[in-house]
Amino acid sequence: MNDWMIYGANGYSGRLCAELAVSRGLRPILAGRRPERIEPLAKRLGLPWRSFALDEPRGVEDGLAGVRVVLHTAGPFSGTSQPMVDGCLAARCHYLDIAGEIPVLEALHARDAEAAAAGVCLVSGMGFDVVPSDCLAAMLATALPDATTLELAFYFGGGQSQGTLKTVVEALPAGGTARIDGEIRDVPTGWKARDVAFGDRTRSCVSLPWGDVATAFWSTNIPNVTVYMAVPRAMLRAFRLVEPVRGALAYEPVQRALKGLIERAVRNPDESAREGSRAEVWGEVTNAAGERRSGLITTPNGYSLTADAAVQGVARLLAGGMARTGALTPSRAFGADFVRTLSGVAVKLGG
């Protein structure tokens, strides 16, 4: 059935989603801004395609004609999410994206009542960040219902795409972010560091402004959330050195130069890199009495998990029977056990 769409299908993650969908017998409409990039991919996969930009509301609404679900993969989402959400609400079709930027996730959450009134689901973070961490957070909150603090940490191998790294560059001027007493607050770059026991060994981790600072609170109601990423120990000092100069990173010429460097120097991970790597998400909750519950989720490469989670999410929305509409996190939309349905995922909950 051609009643769902992948917008941004010519991008790295969009193409992975399209290829996986076809392998599962699905036939999405492929769409994007530039027809010369969408048409060859659509012809190779034997799929229908459309081309429309997001800067004209009527064009977006026309582009979504007959579509029940949009999987939005065209980043950076800071510039593309809002017009696509506008179009989906106008067309009354469900929206999923693979965003992980806190401002994007917050903006989507603010449209909860609008989406519920339209009978539409807006599900953001349907990728490696946020699906496994959001599901783990929900599991841990169930294990310790009076938890007041949540810490999450990521480790992933296999390399990162150009799009992911460009998103990181956009986020650098903002510094760090954490959820403190229920509020999202700015903190210095590299605000906290800690060692985390992942599956194979203990790794040094530094706090970063990952999307779970936004979404984990909505999924668990835990008021204090810090998110870390595993980095080589030598990089811990480098993160702190960014703090005094991060204001300069906001200037457009600097942003343009850094993104140009990424385009010249970074190759998107190929299939062998994805197949030969894994990712892990660690989490721990603590209550006021000092009781703790922890867990670890091991997944395939983050990009492979993103495609799997996003395509499965689309299938669930197409099947109907959603318990709620509105702006939803992955665990609120599909349940904390959604991550267990994804290929190659192992969940280990501890004491």
Both 137 and 247 in one domain: the answer is yes
Would you say residue 272 lies in a domain? yes
Lowest mean pLDDT among 228-232, 294-298, 315-319: 228-232
Q: Which uninterrupted H or E stretch holds 242?
A: helix 233-242
Both 40 and 149 in one domain: the answer is no
Both 146 and 287 in one domain: the answer is yes
pLDDT at 307: 97
Would you say residue 349 lies in a domain? no
Lowest mean pLDDT among 160-164, 265-269, 344-348: 160-164
Structure tokens at 186: 């700015």
146-200: per-residue pLDDT in tens?
Answer: 999 999 999 876 555 666 556 666 766 767 899 999 999 999 877 899 999 999 8
Q: What is the mean pLDDT of the chain?
A: 90
10-25: per-residue pLDDT in tens?
Answer: 999 999 999 999 999 9
Examine the pLDDT at 122 and tell me if it is beyond 80: yes
Would you say residue 48 lies in a domain? yes
Both 136 and 89 in one domain: the answer is no
Would you say residue 248 lies in a domain? yes
Q: What is the CATH classification number for the domain harbouring 257?
A: 3.30.360.10
Both 59 and 15 in one domain: the answer is yes
Q: What is the DSSP letter of 38?
A: H
Residue reference for tokens 């509105």: 326
Structure tokens at 76: 């950076």
Would you say residue 196 lies in a domain? yes
pLDDT at 311: 98
Domain containing 231 equals 131-301
Q: Please tell me which residue, 261 or 111, carries the higher pLDDT value.
A: 111
Between CA 39 and CA 47 the distance in angstroms is 9
**Are the CB atoms for 173 and 194 separated by under 8 Å?**
no
pLDDT at 160: 57
Exposed/middle/buried for 9, CB within 10 Å: 0-12, 13-18, 19+?
Answer: buried
Would you say residue 348 lies in a domain? no
Examine the pLDDT at 310 and tell me if it is beyond 90: yes
pLDDT at 148: 98
Would you say residue 345 lies in a domain? no
**Are the CB atoms for 33 and 118 separated by under 8 Å?**
no
Between CA 263 and CA 50 the distance in angstroms is 26
Query: For the whole model, what pTM was predicted?
Result: 0.89
Both 227 and 252 in one domain: the answer is yes
Residue 171: HSE in the Cβ half-sphere, 13 Å Cα cutoff: 24
Both 310 and 289 in one domain: the answer is no
Both 286 and 310 in one domain: the answer is no
Number of separate domains in the chain = 2
Examine the pLDDT at 1 and tell me if it is beyond 80: no
pLDDT at 169: 64
pLDDT at 175: 73
Cβ neighbours, 10 Å, residue 251: 11
Structure tokens at 137: 């957070």
Nearest to 18 by CA among 45, 37, 36: 45
Both 120 and 137 in one domain: the answer is no
Would you say residue 344 lies in a domain? no
Both 297 and 307 in one domain: the answer is no
pLDDT at 53: 96
Both 316 and 255 in one domain: the answer is no
Q: Once rounded to an integer, what is the mean pLDDT over residues 195-215?
A: 92
Both 67 and 201 in one domain: the answer is no
Q: What is the CATH classification number for the domain harbouring 119?
A: 3.40.50.720
The fraction of the chain above a pLDDT of 90, given in percent, is: 71
Q: Once rounded to an integer, what is the mean pLDDT over residues 297-321?
A: 94
pLDDT at 177: 94
